[in-house]
Amino acid sequence: MHIKLVNLKRDYGSLHAVQDVSLEIPSNTIYGIIGKSGAGKSTLVRLVSMLEKPDAGEVWYDNERVDNLTGGALIEKRRHIGMIFQNFNLFSSRNAAGNIAYPMEICAMDKAYIKNRVNELLSLVGLEGRGDAPISTLSGGQKQRVAIARALACQPDILFCDEATSALDPQTTRSILALIKELQAKMNLTVVMITHQMEVVRDACERVAVLESGRIVEEGLVADIFANPRSEVTKDFLSNLTNVKDSIVRWSTEAGRFTLRFRGGSTDEPIISNVAIETGATFNIRAAGVQHVGDEELGVMVLDIGPDEEHVRLAVQLLKKYGVIIEGDV
Amino acid sequence: MDMQMINQVMEATGETLVMVFFSTVFSLLLGLPIGVLLHITGKEEDGGIIPSPVFNSVLSRIVNVLRSFPFIILLIVLIPLSRIIVGSSIGTKAAIVPLSIAAAPFVARIIESALKEVDPGVIQAAKAMGSTNWQLVYKVLIPEAMPALMSGLTLTIINLIGYSAMAGTIGGGGLGDLAIRYGYQRFRPSYLVAAVIVILIMVEIIQVAGDRIVKRMMSRR
């Protein structure tokens, strides 16, 4: 299902949590919304998921406006979306199967159907035979799996993930993201993923919007944003990411003056050597690595260029000609 | 200790049990909806489902006024009401009316605070799934709060055992009545001792049983 936000606004007193957000979330994709804490992510997801009403603006699911729904129509619409949370928000009074059954129970579905569907969902999320487990006996990853099964029980069109992996360790995060990706493809879901972790965007999302102080500062394909970040927040998120142990090797803590990003095919070519030979500039590499963004490979290199400003100018010019994206004062 | 005394103590125990049982049931019937209303009309950040500040503060005031009413005065004030409801203003049945009404606001607060302990995130999740307000209350809030509600019930019963002893003042019968009429007014301390011991045993049994049930509920979560 395609989601469209038009000039959304929400204030809490003098705090402008969400100001003038317009966004198109294409159907059948995983869409990331990234922002730091306090950027307005949680408010935005509450507005988009009909948990809260905007002060101004519109929310559309396909060709239906949903932000002004009330009463029975609102409840009916909510039954066609799924949502998972950072703290899982499972019912402790019910076991795993009972949690998954809940959304079907409130729609008064047939008992025998519910029983079958619960078993089907348990195996879908890799928890066969764990239906009887009390919630407190499950690990964080298993809890999120139960929550995913619960969210998908009524075959929703949209799945909202509100910081769904923030309480999980990196390994569990990867397995949950893999599960969400798998289910997205299987069920043609539109997934909206709210997060403050760039890794989540990198590993799971196709498109991303960057949120700061209640506004969208950048939006586009994840591969494009990673290769060519324009806003300071995005660069900040990316620089945190480049410190991740498994994606880049940094052998000097002294910051390099330039950050180079190589896209796709260019990661295979000896660009730096070519430039060094052609211009006579010297390169001192501080850190480098390859990141996998979606299906694309992105080379990142932090370095200094010498020996003088004239060589710097020539080298930068040539690097740009090779299609390398350069960050740093030239 | 003679046979007559034993019979009297048994009879009084039976009366106390009847008073406590029925006043527990009726105070729950009165207090549960009030407690639920107090909670769901509260602030959203406290887990309120349908926040309505004016209604909430009015109801809250009424509950507070009723709670601060001394029970002994309530007993007398409610004599006409007992007469209307059970057709008599004295006796065990008549005492159930003021006992239930005295305990109801207490029960309402206990239920409110038990419901407040339910994680607001869980309510939000249930709401996002399209639960109606009624479903949120009986399928989520109450089951989630069950252990806390159970220990609240234990507390209510124990309080009512204490209150029921005072019901003797309107001829309500029961162990308190026996202790005062025979033990105190007729100078037979053995009655006093016997009544107190039976009350102590009752309280202990309720407390232990309540704790066990709560523990069993928690172990299944």
CATH of domain A243-327: 3.30.70.260
CB contact under 8 A, A89 and B125: yes
Average pLDDT over residues B25-52: 92
For residue B37, what is the domain's CATH number?
Answer: 1.10.3720.10
Q: Which residues of B touch A93 (CB under 8 A)?
A: 143-144, 146, 221
CB contact under 8 A, B127 and A76: no
Interface-testing mutation among B127, B129, B135, B214, with chain A (most A C-beta atoms within 10 A): B129
Of A75, A87, A90, the CB nearest to B130: A75
Closest CA to B130 of A270, A80, A14: A80
| Dist. CA A201–CA B155, nearest whole Å | 51
* Alpha-carbon gap: B114 to the closest alpha carbon of chain A (Å): 14
Average pLDDT over residues A192-209: 91
Options 3.90.850.10, 3.40.190.10, 3.30.465.10, 3.40.50.300; CATH for A3-229 is 3.40.50.300
pLDDT at A286 over 80: no
* Alpha-carbon gap: B130 to the closest alpha carbon of chain A (Å): 5
**Which DSSP helix (H) or strand (E) runs through A74?**
helix A71-78
3-state secondary structure of A255: coil
CB contact under 8 A, A92 and B220: no
User: Of the ranges A39-43, A161-165, A321-325, B71-75, which is most confident?
Assistant: A161-165
Residue B137 backbone class (left: φ over 0; alpha: ψ -120 to 50; beta: rest):
alpha
Cross-strand partners of A134 = A95
Cross-strand partners of A59 = A5
Average pLDDT over residues B109-121: 94
> How many structural domains is chain B composed of?
1
CB contact under 8 A, B130 and A76: yes
Of A78, A91, A151, the CB nearest to B122: A91
CB contact under 8 A, B130 and A103: yes
CB contact under 8 A, B119 and A102: no
Interface-testing mutation among A48, A89, A99, with chain B (most B C-beta atoms within 10 A): A89
Of B121, B122, B221, the CB nearest to A136: B221
Which two structure tokens, joined as six digits, stand for B78? Answer: 């409610």
pLDDT at A246 over 50: no
Cis peptide before A307 (omega within 30 of 0): yes
CB contact under 8 A, A91 and B220: no
pLDDT at A182 over 80: yes
Average pLDDT over residues A1-25: 91
pLDDT interval class at A264 (50, 70, 90): low
Burial B92-127 (b: 16+ CB within 10 A, else e): bbbbbbbbbbbbbbbbbbbbbebbbebeebbbbbbb
List the single residue in A with minimal CA-CA distance to B44: A52
pLDDT interval class at A268 (50, 70, 90): low
CA angle, A49 as apex, A48 and A51 as ends, to 5°? 110
Q: Which residues of B touch A135 (CB under 8 A)?
A: 221
Helices (H) and strands (E) in chain A, counts: 11, 15
Written as one letter, the residue type at A49 is S
**pLDDT tens sequence across A88-98:** 999 999 999 99
Inform me whether the C-beta atom of residue B120 falls under 8 Å from chain A C-beta atoms: no
Q: Which residues of A touch B125 (CB under 8 A)?
A: 83, 85, 89-90
| Dist. CA B43–CA B41, nearest whole Å | 7
CB contact under 8 A, A106 and B144: no
pLDDT interval class at A329 (50, 70, 90): low
pLDDT at A255 over 80: no
Query: Can you give the residue ranges of every domain in chain A?
Result: 3-229, 243-327
Q: Which residues of A touch B44 (CB under 8 A)?
A: none
List the single residue in A with minimal CA-CA distance to B121: A89
Three-state secondary structure readout of chain B: CCHHHHHHHHHHHHHHHHHHHHHHHHHHHHHHHHHHHHHHCCCHHHCCCCCCHHHHHHHHHHHHHHHHCCHHHHHHHCHHHHHHHHCCCCCHHHHHHHHHHHHHHHHHHHHHHHHHCCCHHHHHHHHHCCCCHHHHHHHHHHHHHHHHHHHHHHHHHHHHHHHHHHHHHHCCCCHHHHHHHHHHCCCCHHHHHHHHHHHHHHHHHHHHHHHHHHHHHHHCC
**pLDDT tens sequence across A270-284:** 888 888 888 888 888
Which two structure tokens, joined as six digits, stand for B105? Answer: 């606001």
Q: CB of B205 within 8 A of CB of B20?
A: no
Question: Alpha carbon of B221 to those of A132, A133, A136, A207: distances in Å?
Answer: 11, 9, 6, 39
Question: Alpha carbon of A329 to those of A37, A52, A280: distances in Å?
Answer: 29, 44, 20
| pLDDT of res. A269 | 73
Q: Which of A1-5, A136-140, A277-281 has the lowest mean pLDDT?
A: A277-281
3-state secondary structure of A138: coil
Q: CB of A153 within 8 A of CB of A103?
A: yes
pLDDT at A145 over 80: yes
Inform me whether the C-beta atom of residue B45 falls under 8 Å from chain A C-beta atoms: no
pLDDT at A151 over 60: yes
Q: Which of A17-21, A242-246, B153-157 has the lowest mean pLDDT?
A: A242-246
Q: Which domain holds residue B13?
A: 3-219
CA angle, A241 as apex, A199 and A290 as ends, to 5°? 90
Question: Alpha carbon of A20 to those of A55, A214, A217, A244: distances in Å?
Answer: 10, 8, 11, 33
| Dist. CA A220–CA A237, nearest whole Å | 15
First to last CA, chain B: 49
A281 CB burial (10 A radius; 0-12, 13-18, 19+): buried
CB contact under 8 A, B129 and A83: yes
| Dist. CA A122–CA A97, nearest whole Å | 8
| Dist. CA A199–CA B103, nearest whole Å | 56
| pLDDT of res. A254 | 57
Contacts of A121 (CB under 8 A, 6+ apart): A100, A149, A150, A152, A153
* Alpha-carbon gap: B115 to the closest alpha carbon of chain A (Å): 13
pLDDT at A237 over 60: yes
| pLDDT of res. A243 | 46
Q: Which residues of B touch A134 (CB under 8 A)?
A: 220-221
Looking at per-residue confidence, does A265 or A326 come out higher?
A326
| Dist. CA A311–CA A306, nearest whole Å | 6
**Which DSSP helix (H) or strand (E) runs through A10?**
strand A3-12
pLDDT interval class at A267 (50, 70, 90): low
Average pLDDT over residues A166-193: 93
Count of pairs with CB atoms under 8 A, one residue in A, one in B: 66
Q: Which residues of B touch A91 (CB under 8 A)?
A: 122, 126, 140, 143-144
Inform me whether the C-beta atom of residue B127 falls under 8 Å from chain A C-beta atoms: yes
Average pLDDT over residues A111-116: 94
| Dist. CA A206–CA A191, nearest whole Å | 10
φ/ψ of residue B91, rounded to 5: 105, 170
Average pLDDT over residues B124-129: 93
Average pLDDT over residues A152-168: 93
| pLDDT of res. B82 | 87
Q: Which residues of B touch A79 (CB under 8 A)?
A: 129-130
pLDDT at B155 over 50: yes
Q: Which residues of B touch A92 (CB under 8 A)?
A: 122, 144, 221
| Dist. CA A162–CA A2, nearest whole Å | 19
Q: Which of A112-121, B10-19, B144-153, B175-184 has the lowest mean pLDDT?
A: B175-184
Interface-testing mutation among A42, A69, A93, with chain B (most B C-beta atoms within 10 A): A93
Rounded to two decimals, the pTM is 0.81
pLDDT at A301 over 90: no
First to last CA, chain A: 45
Of B121, B135, B144, the CB nearest to A93: B144
